[in-house]
Chain A
Amino acid sequence: MRRGGRVARLLLAAAFAAPGAQAQERGIPLDQLKSGSEFLGQDLRALQADEFANPGMLWVERGAKLWREPAGKKSLACASCHKEVNMRWVAARYPRIDSRSGKLLNLEGRINLCRAQRMGAEPLRYESDELLALTAYLARQSRGAPIAVSIDGPARAHFEAGRASYNLRRGQMNLACAHCHDTNWGKRLLSETISQGHPNAYPAYRLEWQTMGSLERRMRACLSGIRAEMLPYGSQEYFDLELYLAWRAQGLPIETPGVRR
């Protein structure tokens, strides 16, 4: 499928990128990537792997119901259009550019756009159980699929913005994401081991939250931790950062619903 397109893109990339530039751009080489679960203790890893006891599965099950529930003016359900077979790899490809609007969308944004455009339904509120459930249900189907986002074409500008944001010092502690997650991962921050900050388990069940949360919520927690201003949910900067994070984690398998500390 679209093989020609991919070859053309590769050629384009080869023509414009200096040799080795791709490798140098990476804060962590691809062969050293570690999912967040590798920084967890045995008990939490076991909980995440347990199909029954993983508390995130409560949201996945709810999402499966919502997927079939008609909503909005047109009384359509997600399942009216989408056959689940086709949803297998979807989460691993997000964030991505919506070809119609040219906007960068994460999975939550895509769900809400579908609701608005196809179903005539109200968008679901950020961090609402409904949106988390649908996102988790979708991402669950991509479990094991390696993250593979496109940063070419119109996505490039978002990617660059995301990278700039990732490397921007901010907050009272004057830290950038990179200071912890690129240069100091594996070391201790009080009782915690600093992870590489990959997005492949989200939405995830975090013990600190005692509930499911999105990647944006997790990023806000980091911002709060370095005493920086938290941007409102749905800010463009989060989408750009999400794209950069996904590119950084290229090849890591989706683990949703993850369990984190």
Chain B
Amino acid sequence: MAARIQIPRQAKRGEVIEVRVLIQHPMETGFRHDDVGRLIKRNVINAFSCRYSGVEVFRADLSSGIAANPYLQFYTVAEASGNLEFTWIDDERVQGSERQPIAVSG
């Protein structure tokens, strides 16, 4: 699963930073039918979480109401240099992950 993640490379200690995430996923609702009328099985990213140096700072439970290729935007406080780790999983147990470093000064 391709994903785009945007966080500032550097921040000052205590600064509120914006985190933007865009994940490529069909987010199949489970309500649609294929060409021959069979129900297409639901397959959505059902859980997403972001850990900052091991500590969970954001979590989202997604469901079939979320559009394809979900875009998430949230904020956290820059405390120390480290990594932001992003993980998510869909109904077919396919996992995705990304990691972005951040340098915190001051």
Contact = CB atoms under 8 A, between A and B. Distances in A.
B26 A58 contact: no
A55 B23 CA distance: 9
Interface string B28-65: 00000000000000000000000000000000000000
Interface in A203-227: 207, 210-211
B103 interface: no
A61 interface: yes
Contacts of B26: 210-211
Contacts, number: 30
A58 B5 CA distance: 11
A52 B2 CA distance: 14
A77 B22 CA distance: 28
A207 B20 CA distance: 20
Contacts of A52: 4, 6, 20, 22
A55 B69 contact: yes
B68 A58 contact: no
A58 B71 contact: no
Contacts of B68: 55, 210-211
Nearest to B71: A53
Contacts of A177: none
Contacts of B22: 52-53, 55, 57-58
B87 interface: no
Given A52-B22, A210-B26, A61 B67 contact: no
Task: Kindly state the interface size class of chain B when it binds its partner.
Answer: 10 to 19
**Interface size of A as a range:** 10 to 19
Contact of A53 (B20, B24, B27): B20
A62 interface: yes
Contacts of A211: 26, 68-69
B87 to A, nearest CB: 19
B19 to A, nearest CB: 11
A167 to B, nearest CB: 32
Nearest to A65: B2
A53 B23 CA distance: 10
